[in-house]
Structure 1
Amino acid sequence: MTVDYSLPKPELGAPVRVSPFIRFCRWGLLFAGIAYGMKRQRTLEQRETAHRANLRAQKVIWDEEQKKIATQRTREQLLQLAKDVNVPIPADFDTQYPPA
């Protein structure tokens, strides 16, 4: 024996005619939203392009700073290593690893 769990279908009335004013407002708001979205996209795109150009310019500066820090750290580590192992520091050490 099977049980039918389906709901009875409601009876729908005749479709209501939507007024032309409401239709005009709906379409108008749709197109206004599309126009706003396009304008907003353009604005955000310009802002992001300027931000990326700024980051590109800053990256060069940051890379130089990191290179200086790495060179200084290497110099300090080599001096400490020479001190720990009791190895004399070469005469041309300052030309190879200039102090900051």
Structure 2
Amino acid sequence: MQSVPSQEYGVLRGKVKSVDRSAQSAQQIAAFLGDAQLGEQFTKEGRPVAVTVELEKSSGTESGYAWSSADGPPFALTSMTLATGSIRLAGRRPVDWLLP
């Protein structure tokens, strides 16, 4: 599995499409990703909440996605490529996203 260091290539650009209201168990994560080890790894420090992000596509990068750097990594991404991202909230408090 190839990783994508954010210090070297930047971060992927995208928009949050959904945020689950409940935390995920290691079994739920493993079922979604098809990898029990990742399910355990992602729950080591507690049960995370799933966030679905639609990545911006870009025909100008080798990966096919938009990055915070000009080019991103010089290879295509697969579904199991580890990548680091950050979320920027647009002028709203996190609690505003959870309450209707």
**TM-score (norm. length: structure 2):** 0.18
- Structure number with the higher helix fraction is 1
Between the two structures, name the one with larger relative contact order (CA 8 Å, sep ≥ 6): 2
Q: Work out which of the two has the higher radius of gyration on C-alpha atoms and give 1 or 2.
A: 1
Give the alignment's TM-score, normalised by structure 1: 0.18
